[in-house]
A and B are shown apart, each in its own frame.
Chain A
Amino acid sequence: MSAAERLAEARALLAEAPVVDGHNDLPWALRQQCGYDLDLLDIAGDRSASLHTDLARLRAGGVGAQFWSVYVPGALAGDHAVSATLEQIDAVDRLVERYAADLAPARTADDVRKARAEGRIASLKGAEGGHSIDNSLATLRAFHALGVRYMTLTHNENNDWADSATDEPRHGGLTAFGRAVVREMNRCGMLVDLSHVAATTMRDALDASTAPVVFSHSSARAVCDHPRNIPDDVLERLPANGGVAMATFVPKFILPAAVEWTLRADENLRAHGRHHLDTTPEAKALHAAFEARDPRPVATAATVADHLDHMREAAGVDHIGIGGDYDGTAFTPAGLDDVAGYPNLIAELLDRGWSRADLTKLTWSNALRVLGDAEAVARDLTARTPASHATIAQLDGA
């Protein structure tokens, strides 16, 4: 098969088994770039100048369902985090309402199938960081009632009940309240997302969860040793749990050379007295000068495929998926530059001998199975157990 034939084959495959992508940060990008005013940044038009995502490119990419991230920064605490999350949820609902011909609201696996049958892109919501609920299970349930279908237990920082992968260990995984959060998520039917969390938190959550978990945007630590990726012992537990690990495209997590380069770039900013996440014009100028001296290594579709090959070995073909993190990352792999890129990844995997059946699982059916299974667990638990009113003070004495 020639490259062109493989790409045509990939597109044909995606027409039947479109991508269920685990994580896209368009809502936060809309807040940053236009204050949610979609008249200023209409995604029905070509937005490639400032966004990875618009409707035409989602269509070109063969996306059939998208978990839109209702992320708020970990720096927001308490009621501000709750309000800002409500605002992000509202932004997704308004987006779906405005582009109703292309986007369909979805809360269940069946909603996603219905959207595919209607030729629309199912739009689900995922919260990124347990700080969004401000230690309140009532708020967790309110988010569920508003359609949030996964919550990442932490973002880049620890919270009061879970350790993050990118912070100093504080709890050694989940606290007792953290386990109560996981159980309540199982009960109401919100997927437990283990991207961003420390490996200790991953293991504790797998112990506590009776429903399948997801990694909405994480790849394999054995391929690229970065804390945002999943260790093999955790991947190996997914068949028993039933969950799915959705490989992400973020170069600084998946390409070893990019990990090292990012360390050097961060060090450069720190040497100039700047925080490594500083995005002021001065910091950007310092960074540009660094990049001129030390060119940025470029990941490709093959880099992502390397991870998927390994994740398939470790977790099994029934437990892998895709979570690009578009509009949540500054850089993207060559060939996977924006949401139109998924066919290139599928073509790469076809070239590596992946069967149609396996690719269908990767793009579509694994994620649908996890959604449906979590719904079944929730139906069972809601019938048997009352809502938890546990507080962090009761369980953790904090």
Chain B
Amino acid sequence: MADLDDHPPFSAASGAVGALEPPEPPPPPLDETARARAILAAQPVIEGHAELPGLLDPEDLPPARAEEAGAQFWSLRVESDDVIDTLRRLDTVRALVAACPEDLRLAHTASEMVHARNCGRVAALLGPVSWTAIGGSAATLRAYHALGVRAVNLTRFDRFAREAVREMNRIGLAVDLSGADQDTVRKVLAVTRAPALLTRAAPDALPDDLLRLLGENGAVCMVAVGDDPGATADLLDRVRDGAGPASTGLSHLTAPAAGYVPLFAELLRRGWPARDLVGLAHGNATRALRETEFLSRTNRIRPVAA
């Protein structure tokens, strides 16, 4: 309680005695850009999609990113179907994070993510890995989780996928439905008990009823931010209207120099309350991660999938 008692002396009394000094004029109303800047200064962005440059040159470290970024999902998706290419990419991201201890810190949980931010680092979350790099093996799924991976990009639904989604719920791996066809999204949402992620969402391709299902699931549709704030805001409006304000999120900047301020200013002009902007920046993604972790803790008593 000490910090709450730490009032400056006489502050309570000064009002009672009367104004000894002329009252300060009220500050001029902030324009949307200034308000957006203020919000983003306090609310770090969780980016759904960061990617390694094709050839990693240690001279270029750390990789460029928006200054508003507080956490990033590092994609481990590979062109091939190989486990080994995924392990290589994982190794490179780990090496990158290890090489930039002042900038980046690996995070495996929502709490570690917040802690990294409090330490002034950008949290690096591992994932998603490609669905094909699971090779139809629950053991490989668990190996990725043990290696710190926290999301899998499920793009095809078959009998193994049904078991795999349950196993992902059990061990605490988020299902990323980016790029999955509508049928797959519907089937996964019918099985999963944890919020889905769409780290590279394309909301214009999602019909209204699917957006509503995603909203009911608590999914987070992370939208890429392009040059035109109006166009991005249209996409986010579509998610907010269709799935609800708890399902919005950000993927990455296609032009990192611009930052997130123009988008947030545009959303303020469109009447988004500050609460929804906090959800968009990080609140919704953090909630989804925490729910995934909580479900996993309560699910651990279930037997291991074969």
- Bound CA–CA A146/B145 (angstroms): 10
Contacts of A97 in B (CB 8 A): 304
Interface string of B79-117 (1 = CB under 8 A from A): 001111001101110010001000000000000000000
Of residues 71 through 94 on chain A, the ones whose CB sits less than 8 Å from some CB of chain B are: 78-79, 82-83, 86-87, 89-91, 93-94
Contacts of B135 in A (CB 8 A): 79, 83
**Closest chain B CB from A149 CB (angstroms):** 15
Check if B306 is an interface residue, CB within 8 A of chain A.
Answer: yes
Task: Tell me if B143 and A89 are in contact (CB < 8 A).
Answer: yes
Check if B190 is an interface residue, CB within 8 A of chain A.
Answer: no
Interface segment among A131-139, A249-257, A323-331: the answer is: A131-139
Task: Tell me if B139 and A87 are in contact (CB < 8 A).
Answer: yes
Check if B118 is an interface residue, CB within 8 A of chain A.
Answer: no
Contacts of B140 in A (CB 8 A): 83, 86-87, 90
Task: Tell me if B95 and A86 are in contact (CB < 8 A).
Answer: no
Task: Tell me if B84 and A82 are in contact (CB < 8 A).
Answer: yes
Task: Tell me if B142 and A387 are in contact (CB < 8 A).
Answer: no
Size of interface on A: residues with Cβ below 8 Å to B: 27
Check if A36 is an interface residue, CB within 8 A of chain B.
Answer: yes
Contacts of A82 in B (CB 8 A): 83-84, 87
Q: How large is the interface on B (under 10, 10 to 19, 20 to 34, 35 or more residues)?
A: 20 to 34
Task: Tell me if B147 and A94 are in contact (CB < 8 A).
Answer: no
Other-chain contact of A139, B81, B88, B139, B306 (Cβ < 8 Å): B88
Check if A145 is an interface residue, CB within 8 A of chain B.
Answer: yes
Residue of B nearest to A35 (CB): B306
Check if A8 is an interface residue, CB within 8 A of chain B.
Answer: no
Contacts of A36 in B (CB 8 A): 306
Residue of B nearest to A78 (CB): B84
- Bound CA–CA A97/B302 (angstroms): 13
Contacts of B92 in A (CB 8 A): 138
Task: Tell me if A86 and B137 are in contact (CB < 8 A).
Answer: yes
Check if A141 is an interface residue, CB within 8 A of chain B.
Answer: yes
Q: Known contacts A35-B306, A36-B306, A142-B147; is A87 also within 8 Å of B87 by CB?
A: no
Task: Tell me if A91 and B95 are in contact (CB < 8 A).
Answer: no
From A37, A79, A387, residue with most partner B Cβ within 10 Å: A79
Other-chain contact of A136, B88, B95, B142, B304 (Cβ < 8 Å): B88
- Bound CA–CA A387/B146 (angstroms): 20
Task: Tell me if B142 and A139 are in contact (CB < 8 A).
Answer: no
Task: Tell me if B91 and A86 are in contact (CB < 8 A).
Answer: no
- Bound CA–CA A90/B134 (angstroms): 14
Which B residues contact A (CB, under 8 angstroms)?
Answer: 81-84, 87-88, 90-92, 95, 99, 135, 137-140, 142-143, 146-147, 304, 306
| 4 new A-B contacts at CB < 8 Å, known A89-B143, A138-B84, A387-B91 | A89-B139, A93-B146, A94-B304, A389-B95
Which A residues contact B (CB, under 8 angstroms)?
Answer: 35-37, 78-79, 82-83, 86-87, 89-91, 93-94, 97, 134, 136-139, 141-142, 145-146, 386-387, 389
Kindly list the 7 A-B residue pairs having the minimum CB-CB distance in the complex, ordered from nearest. Answer: A138-B91, A90-B139, A87-B139, A138-B88, A86-B143, A142-B87, A79-B82
